[in-house]
Amino acid sequence: MKIIELRLKNLNSLYGEWVIDFTDQEYISNGIFAITGPTGAGKSTILDAICLALYGETPRLKTLSKSTNEIMSRGQGECYAEVTFQSQSGTFRCHWSQHRARKSHTGRLADSKHEISNALTGEVLESKKGGVKLEVIKQTGMDIDRFTRSILLAQGGFTAFLKASADERAPILEQLTGSNIYSDISVNVHEKHKAKVEEYNLLQAETQGIITLSVDDETSLIIQRDELAKEEEALVKSESSIRESLSLIREIDTLKKDISVIEGELDDVSKESLVFDPKRITLKRANSAWELDGEYSALVERRKEQLLDENSIASIKLELPTLNETIKNSRLELVSKEEDLLALKAHLREELEIIKDVRSLDQNIIGKKEELSDVNDSLDDIQKELKIKSVKLKDFKSNKEELNKRFKDINHYIVTNAQDSTLLEDLSLIQSLNIDYTQLLDKIYFKDVEGNNKKEELEEISKKVKLAESDIGQIINEYNSIKDNRLALEQQLSDKLAGRAFSEYQKDLSSLNREESYINRIISLEEERSKLISGKPCPLCGSKSHPYIGSKTPKKNEIREKIDELEVYIEFVNELESQIKIVTDEEHIKFSLLTKKNGNIDLLKSQLDS
């Protein structure tokens, strides 16, 4: 079996009509070629199209019915797959197709059609879905299981083989290549050999009971056989001679009868010839007139065509100014749309730059929040340290009061006990220690005052930081809300565009408008079209194919409905883009305010550091 040509339309990611001619010189000269592309590009869809055209199913999708069709491209109203192949039986073409009602993507699915025909003569061999599969199997000798093993390896089958262990690969390879038939052959051969051995043993047992002839008996029988053979040969020759004589006699009788019949027919023909002589002259004259009949008919047709051409030329001359004005307006509209497209692209580049800056500032805000958290941690540590120093200061004050009291007691003791003059040295030492201790208490007091001042400044800065953090949090929430709104609108716009550029929808609208104008033109030529005759050339274009004869005129209302639907769609997309622009401007305002607040936080941070 050899695949010659593949045609497909609207299958999975392959939108529109596609043709692959495997008889092209590139395929023939190279011999081997590969189908490559990213995921979702449609590589497996090409293989699915071959299976779909041949068998009405694919290795990935077993069922395609009136209620489900997962292979038709999204948003399309029809699809088909057609493959031309060559086998030992000849060249054939298989065609599978399915469409929705009115070929609209919103219509209900109709039942699929499947047929096989002779590619050379166009004769349809089978058009019933079940019968087509049987006819394909008859012409190719393969059902879909054998086809996906010998011609087209289904997606996933080779992956299972590669990932299998050594013991598991043999049955998988047999399933993929169909080589399990050799195992079956081996089993059958073994069984047949066993049966033949048993039959041979049985024959040997039977021959052991047969008594063989002696040499004299065998010689006597051979002599009798030879004599009988000679007698038989003589009888055969005699019989052959008799049969030849009988055959000649029968042929002579037959020839005599044929001669008598021919003589009778000859007499009849002579009589008919004499009767036909008057009419022969009339026939000769009629043949002479018949030779001029074609030229006369051609002359009449050309005069009619000339009259139609003159009428058509006059009609076209009347419509020419209107058509020129329409072309001029269309060119002006095209220039305007191109300018709008350039402006939109410039606006899109500006918005992309702004979005890039916004993302950068988002990262800066996260960094500032982390720095603010570190500052708050440092402030907590300082406050804890101030509390510890306050406790120590209270302890020092208590110790100072106790030492002053003891000092007074010592002075009183010295006065009352003057005789203890030896204690003066100890008193001098105590006074010296008291002075040092007093100086130490003064230093602690000043440090305590300075710490209280710092504490008040830190508390004030902390309040400002918390207030600024609260403002930033509120601004970030508002900014995120606006940003989420913008992203939602952009996502809604992206979903609405369905992966296509807005300019493509505008081109579709222009194309539909042109098609409506063309249909109006066709309808306006109803009178001229009624004069067309199937198989005869058109007086305007000379074509012998007339697709709009009778009830084949395209419907204007369907095109008008599509135009109205597309205009509503484009108006909705324009409204979405306007909303996105308003939200983007609000986002820029919040971004500027957020930048200003970040500057205030940096200033407070520098004050905390100092």
Tell me: the pLDDT tens digits for 164-204? Answer: 666 666 665 665 555 666 677 778 888 898 999 888 888 88
pLDDT mean over 495-521: 74
pLDDT at 423: 47
Question: Helix or strand or coil: residue 425?
Answer: helix
User: How far, in whole angstroms, is CA 192 from its chain's centroid?
Assistant: 53
CA angle 477, 478, 483 (to 5 degrees): 95
Kindly state the tokens that stand for 388: 């510890």
What is the C-alpha to C-alpha distance for residues 133 and 579, in angstroms, rounded to an integer? 56
DSSP state, residue 310? H
Q: Is the pLDDT of residue 27 over 60?
A: yes
% of the chain at pLDDT higher than 70? 69
176 contacts 153 by C-beta, under 8 angstroms: yes
pLDDT at 219: 86
Contacts of 108 (CB under 8 A, 6+ apart): 100, 101
More confident residue, 208 or 571: 571
pLDDT at 95: 95
pLDDT at 83: 96
96 contacts 103 by C-beta, under 8 angstroms: no
pLDDT mean over 294-305: 76
pLDDT mean over 314-333: 80
pLDDT at 125: 92
Sorted by where each starts, the structural domains of the chain and their CATH numbers stand as 2-155 (3.40.50.300)
Residue 307, judged by CB atoms within 10 A of its CB (0-12, 13-18, 19+), counts as exposed
pLDDT at 94: 95
pLDDT at 546: 65
Which pairs with CB-CB distance under 8 Å and at least 24 residues apart come from 91-99? 91/4, 91/118, 91/119, 91/120, 92/116, 92/117, 92/118, 92/119, 92/125, 92/139, 93/117, 93/118, 93/119, 94/53, 94/54, 94/132, 94/136, 95/53, 96/52, 96/53, 96/56, 98/64, 98/69, 98/72
What is the C-alpha to C-alpha distance for residues 43 and 33, in angstroms, rounded to an integer? 13
Bridge-partner residues for 18, per DSSP? 8
What is the C-alpha to C-alpha distance for residues 545 and 166, in angstroms, rounded to an integer? 64
Q: Are strands 2-11 and 78-87 parallel, antiparallel or unpaired?
A: antiparallel
* Segment among 213-227, 238-252, 399-413 with least mean pLDDT: 399-413
Tell me the chain's radius of gyration from C-alpha atoms.
Answer: 54
pLDDT at 18: 93
3-state DSSP helix/strand/coil % of the chain, to nearest 5:
75, 10, 20
pLDDT at 118: 93
Kindly state the tokens that stand for 473: 């949090």
pLDDT mean over 102-111: 86
DSSP state, residue 531? T
pLDDT at 147: 77
Instruction: List the one residue out of 548, 520, 545, 529 whose CA is nearest residue 308.
Output: 529
Instruction: List the one residue out of 178, 85, 83, 58 whose CA is nearest residue 139.
Output: 85
User: How far, in whole angstroms, is CA 269 from its chain's centroid?
Assistant: 77
Contacts of 21 (CB under 8 A, 6+ apart): 4, 5, 27
Number of continuous H segments (helices) and E segments (strands) in the chain: 12, 6
Phi, psi of 604 (to 5 degrees): -65, -35
User: How far, in whole angstroms, is CA 504 from its chain's centroid?
Assistant: 19
Q: Are strands 14-21 and 113-118 parallel, antiparallel or unpaired?
A: unpaired
Give residue 79's pLDDT band: very low, low, confident or very high (50, 70, 90).
very high
Q: What is the mean pLDDT of the chain?
A: 76
Residue 191 identity (one-letter amino acid): E
